[in-house]
Amino acid sequence: MKTILTGDRPTGKLHLGHYVGSLRERVLLQNSGEFDKIFIMIADAQALTDHADNPAKVRESVYNVALDYLAVGLDPTKSTLFIQSQVAELFELTAYYLNVVTVSRLERNPTVKTEIAQKGFETSIPAGFLCYPVSQAADITAFDANIVPVGEDQIPMLEQTREIVRKINDIYGEVLVAPEIYLPKNQVCRRLPGIDGKAKMSKTLGNCIYLSDSSATVAAKVKDMYTDPLHIKVSDPGHVEGNVVFTYLDAFCADKKVVADMKEHYQRGGLGDVKVKKFLLEVLEEILTPIRQRRAEYGAHPDEVLKILREGTEKAREKASEVLARLKGAMKINYFD
């Protein structure tokens, strides 16, 4: 059995980082026909671990993320799209997994550490937030997933999941499937920087190009993109390292030869930022135009979107309850069977 589980937090709309880090890979894997089951989760309960005071944002984002999924080509006849909070089994699994994880192990998770600093949580970490990697282990194992397509920030989560699987299986017998991370082959796609050229593109940091941005918005964002501060005159030799316009060309342009030639010309001098940005905009628009069209089509039928999520969630519940029953049996807490 080859099964995929992956997902996103509904804390806003999805952006180009999600696209190259995970969405594009998911669609390719989905259409490869090599997978028996594909579960795509909208992680609203996880979003609430740092948005407890803003449930309206989470609710609205669930619908937006679902539209983004359908827009990029996730097909509900091939992939099961579902909402995390509606699968109660996931929270039962989390409760049992928490018993095999130490607080110091949770505090060592490098991605969580970075996020705690970003969110200013140092002196007041919500317990649910600290424990979200454990709930992620439940999300993955509840579906017997063996492949998890995600970006690089998820490496520590997968490590922690595999540790939990090992511990549970050591104590209770072989009940859980150990998952493998699936990262994009193209290095730059594993952690796409924001348009400011600094940290990774992230909703929290507000340095994103969204899949749902209009052509005019994308054009304005590309125009403002950080390039090489030393490249003042067109004739000056330019730097491509750390120049986010070239990083995006590496991530989005399929024609590697054209990008290599442009880099060479830029480094030599004589190629202006305006020209490179114009080309990047063309490359992005070619990707974003069909996505926008499909988004508008589904956006005109919100009932249909809700139906896809309802049916997907029912299917997800069925599978998760099977795995939960298996674990409870192994733990000998199946009194009434």
**Residue ranges in contact with ligand ATP by CB under 6 A:** 8-9, 11, 17-18, 21-22, 150-151, 153-154, 190-192, 200-204
Six-digit token string for 199:
């940290």
Closer by beta carbon to ligand ATP, 9 or else 263: 9
Closer by beta carbon to ligand ATP, 168 or else 283: 283
Q: Write the CA distances from 41 to 32, 59, 86, integer angstroms.
A: 20, 14, 11
Q: How far apart are the C-alpha atoms of 270 and 263, rounded to whole Å?
A: 11
Distance of CA 273 to the CA centre of its chain: 30
Question: 142 Cβ partners below 8 Å, 6+ apart?
Answer: 5, 87, 89, 90, 93, 319, 320, 323, 324
Minimum distance of ligand ATP from residue 330's CB (angstroms): 30
Q: Which residue is nearest to ligand ATP (CB)?
A: 21
| Sign of CA pseudo-dihedral 134, 157, 129, 90 | negative
Closer by beta carbon to ligand ATP, 110 or else 237: 110
Minimum distance of ligand ATP from residue 190's CB (angstroms): 6
Closer by beta carbon to ligand ATP, 203 or else 263: 203
Closer by beta carbon to ligand ATP, 40 or else 305: 40
Minimum distance of ligand ATP from residue 229's CB (angstroms): 22
CB 81 within 8 A of CB 308: yes
CB 205 within 8 A of CB 118: yes
Minimum distance of ligand ATP from residue 41's CB (angstroms): 10
Closer by beta carbon to ligand ATP, 30 or else 202: 202
Cα end-to-end span (Å), the chain: 27
CB 184 within 8 A of CB 18: no
Q: SS3 breakdown of the chain: % helix, strand, coil, rounded to 5?
A: 60, 10, 35
Minimum distance of ligand ATP from residue 16's CB (angstroms): 8
Minimum distance of ligand ATP from residue 200's CB (angstroms): 4
Closer by beta carbon to ligand ATP, 190 or else 295: 190
Measured from the Cβ of residue 35, the count of other Cβ atoms closer than 10 Å reads 17
| Sign of CA pseudo-dihedral 249, 255, 256, 257 | negative
Q: How far apart are the C-alpha atoms of 202 and 67, rounded to whole Å?
A: 19
Minimum distance of ligand ATP from residue 326's CB (angstroms): 27
User: What does the chain come to in residues?
Assistant: 337
Minimum distance of ligand ATP from residue 39's CB (angstroms): 14
Closer by beta carbon to ligand ATP, 152 or else 163: 152
